[in-house]
Amino acid sequence: MRLEQLIYLEKIIEKGSINEAAKELFLTQPSLSNAVKDLESEMGIQILLRNARGVSLTPEGREFLAYSRQILDQVNLLEEKFKHTQPRKQAFSVSAQHYAFVVHAFVELIRSVDSKEYDFTLRETETENIFSDLASFRSELGVLYLNSFNRQVMTKLFNEKNLVFTPLFDAKPHVFVSRDNPLTKKKKLKLEDLEEYPYLSYEQGENNSFYFSEEILSTWDRKMNIKVSDRATIFNLMVGLNGYTISSGIISSELNDDKIVAIPLDHEDTMTLGWLKQKQRELSPAARLYLDMLKNHIQQYGFKIYE
């Protein structure tokens, strides 16, 4: 395996086409295609799927590229230090349940990038998709919560999928409602206070397991239930229908959450929010920086970060 082959592969994925990559690399299309075929033969896997529209990665190819990028990152660090070359294009992706602090740290990360070239992805998604994104190396990090109800099942899944969970902070459950909701007159809410209001929760696709729910007390019977797929919609329904949801208590006014307030819920449960990664994967510099920003942002809300 040669370093050039890894560089060629990354350029092909960036362009989505062997032909376009060959033009940028000043190579002929056959020579570039043969370089990838030689790499596939040496590794004993199929890395690319080739079709009339271009190329895409196989599942094994996606995993291979994740490791390849780690090698290229290290080579680039050496060249930056000793050859004073330009930093390579940064790549980072995170898949998470729907939390404002995840988005806020992502915004800060992009603002901190001293380059006009980067390839970052944020997926606010269903819980099951976080697992599949990490397993397929589509995302480097995942963010979700554990509590007394889902911890045993989730921990079993982490082990099965070769994932490592690192806790960030503990949070008591809060009820999110519109500023105009009559519930805001109370400093603390009980479950019975919520009975006459629509309950808003995030849908979990085909896997409707209560253990995958993003909200605690998912098994509690409610008269009015509305499922949504994104945070913008859930906030709109809080305002338009006086609906509510239950989450960590962190609301970011900088991300247009100023119409929503968080009221403590009188319940014994505690949410432990944390991040996931593949056990064998080393974090990229961008991922480490993102985690630092995530922790700093959470601390600004008065939460104690796990050491």
Please report the pLDDT score of residue 3 as a whole number. Answer: 85
What are the residue boundaries of the structural domains of the chain, listed by start? 3-82, 90-167+272-299, 171-264
Helix/strand/coil percent split, the chain, to 5: 45, 20, 35
pLDDT tens-digit series, residues 285-299: 889 999 999 999 999
pLDDT tens-digit series, residues 4-45: 888 888 888 888 888 888 888 888 888 888 888 988 899 999
* Chosen CATH of 90-167+272-299 out of 3.40.190.10, 3.40.50.720, 3.30.1540.20, 2.60.40.10: 3.40.190.10
Please report the pLDDT score of residue 180 as a whole number. Answer: 93
Domains 90-167+272-299 and 171-264 share a fold: yes
- What homologous superfamily is domain 171-264 in, according to CATH? Periplasmic binding protein-like II (3.40.190.10)
Q: What CA–CA distance (Å, rounded) separates 64 from 62?
A: 5
pLDDT tens-digit series, residues 228-278: 988 889 999 999 999 999 998 888 766 656 789 999 999 989 999 999 998
Please report the pLDDT score of residue 135 as a whole number. Answer: 83
Beta carbons within 8 Å of 170's beta carbon, 6+ residues apart: 270, 271, 272, 273, 303, 304
The string of DSSP letters for 166-187 reads EEEEEE--EEEEETTSGGGG-S
Stated as kind and residue range, the H or E segment containing 292 is helix 285-299
* Antiparallel, parallel or unpaired: β 245-247 and 174-178: antiparallel
Q: Report the CATH number of the 3-82 domain.
A: 1.10.10.10
Q: What is the DSSP letter of 287?
A: H
Across 38-54, average pLDDT: 87
Q: Which two tokens stand for residue 31?
A: 């020579």
